[in-house]
């Protein structure tokens, strides 16, 4: 059941990303990292549809996290790039090539291999005052460092770094969601007295702005892979550090886990280079605030 819900969440996320990027990529480059970018996008029906799909995916992701560990759910959410690719395939009516099939096999096979080898299990709420949550501050600092580095880079490098920062925050968002749900089991009063549910929307909003800025800076094939790769890696690390979620650590299991993660990242990169995800570049030469397309 957890696998089915996680895949449904990945589907909605992938479709939502495609719709959001089509809308965001036509906004002026000067709006990158500015709140006015969101203010303009909110008037786009296509972008609102994308946000609705993404919210639906996040809700399903929260349902999956309510009954499973972060290390089990986040690898499955990497499938959102597969659904984004399928949506682009339907829109542009082109056949999938060998690279797309290879990327699909690597992403899905890598996720399956990681779960089969690691068999994530255990996990408990460390409590809102636990020192384990200090790791979340480090994650925010890493995301901030990626943003600062992106400000000094070329446009495509900026898109990748902003997308990686967004994926980092989405991984933290998954962990905060899991923490809030575990605290809720102790009662509504316990949840209201903890800090996670108040920080969660702030992290989500920052991740949303970074995502739209990355989508504004470069086409989906450049921006989405970094988001998709960063989220599960951060989610897995935080799940182990904060919730004490356990993975098998035998030599055979570790080999399978590492191989699965490498396969997922490689597949994400291959799929991200798909020409289907680059179609939004066409017809964008008239974007305001740029003469580079």
Residue pair 215/21 in contact (Cβ under 8 Å)? The answer is: yes
Ordered DSSP codes for 82-128: HHHHHHHHHHHT----HHHHHHHHHHHHHHHHHHHHH--EE-----T
Side-chain-side CA neighbours of residue 266 (13 Å):
13
Q: Which pLDDT score is estimated for 210?
A: 94
Q: Which pLDDT score is estimated for 286?
A: 47
Residue pair 29/216 in contact (Cβ under 8 Å)? The answer is: yes
**pTM for the whole structure:** 0.79
> How far out from the chain centre does Cα 83 lie?
13
For residue 42, give the DSSP letter. Answer: T
Q: Which pLDDT score is estimated for 107?
A: 81
Q: Which pLDDT score is estimated for 284?
A: 47
3-state secondary structure of 245: strand
17 closest CA partner among 272, 293, 286, 275: 272
Partners of 122 in the β-ladder: 245
Cα–Cα distance, 62 to 14 (Å, whole number): 16
- In this structure, what is the dihedral angle of CA atoms 229, 94, 49, 290, given to the nearest 10 degrees? 80
- pLDDT mean values, one per 10 residues, the chain (293 residues): 87 90 84 88 92 91 80 80 79 73 81 79 69 86 94 86 93 88 85 89 93 86 81 83 81 89 84 67 49 41
227 closest CA partner among 260, 265, 284: 265
Cα–Cα distance, 215 to 158 (Å, whole number): 11
Q: Which pLDDT score is estimated for 154?
A: 83
Residue pair 83/31 in contact (Cβ under 8 Å)? The answer is: no
- Please, which residues have CB within 8 angstroms of residue 249's CB and are 6 or more apart in sequence? none
Domain spans of the chain? 2-281
Task: Kindly list the distances between the CA atom of residue 126 and the CA atoms of 27, 30, 208, 244, in Å, as whole numbers in the listed order.
Answer: 43, 42, 27, 8
Cα–Cα distance, 198 to 291 (Å, whole number): 41
Cα–Cα distance, 156 to 219 (Å, whole number): 9
Q: Which pLDDT score is estimated for 123?
A: 67
Cα–Cα distance, 237 to 233 (Å, whole number): 6
């Amino acid at each position: 059941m957890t696998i089915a819900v996680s895949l449904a969440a990945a589907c909605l996320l992938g479709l939502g990303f495609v719709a959001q990027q089509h809308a965001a990529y036509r906004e002026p480059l000067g709006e990158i990292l500015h709140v006015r970018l969101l203010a303009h996008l909110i008037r786009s029906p296509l972008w609102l549809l994308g946000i609705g799909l993404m919210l639906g995916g996040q809700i399903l992701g929260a349902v999956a996290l309510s009954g499973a560990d972060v290390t089990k759910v986040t690898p499955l959410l990497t499938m959102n790039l597969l659904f984004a690719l399928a949506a682009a395939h339907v829109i542009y009516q082109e056949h999938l090539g060998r690279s797309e099939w290879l990327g699909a096999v690597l992403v899905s096979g890598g996720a399956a291999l990681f779960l089969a080898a690691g068999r994530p299990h255990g996990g408990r709420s460390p409590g809102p005052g636990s020192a384990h949550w200090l790791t979340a501050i480090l994650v925010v600092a890493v995301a901030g460092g990626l943003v600062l580095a992106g400000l000094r880079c070329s446009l495509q490098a900026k898109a990748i770094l902003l997308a990686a920062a967004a994926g980092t925050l989405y991984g933290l968002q998954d962990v905060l969601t899991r923490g809030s749900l575990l605290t809720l089991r102790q009662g509504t009063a316990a949840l209201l007295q903890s800090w996670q549910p108040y920080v969660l929307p702030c992290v989500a909003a920052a991740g949303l702005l970074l995502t739209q800025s990355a989508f504004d800076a470069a086409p989906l094939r450049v921006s989405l892979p970094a988001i998709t790769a960063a989220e599960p890696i951060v989610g897995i690390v935080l799940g182990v550090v904060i919730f004490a979620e356990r993975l098998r650590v035998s030599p055979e299991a570790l080999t399978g886990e590492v191989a699965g993660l490498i396969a997922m990242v490689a597949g994400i990169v291959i799929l991200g280079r798909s020409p289907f995800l680059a179609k939004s570049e066409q017809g964008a030469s008239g974007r305001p605030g740029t003469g580079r397309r």
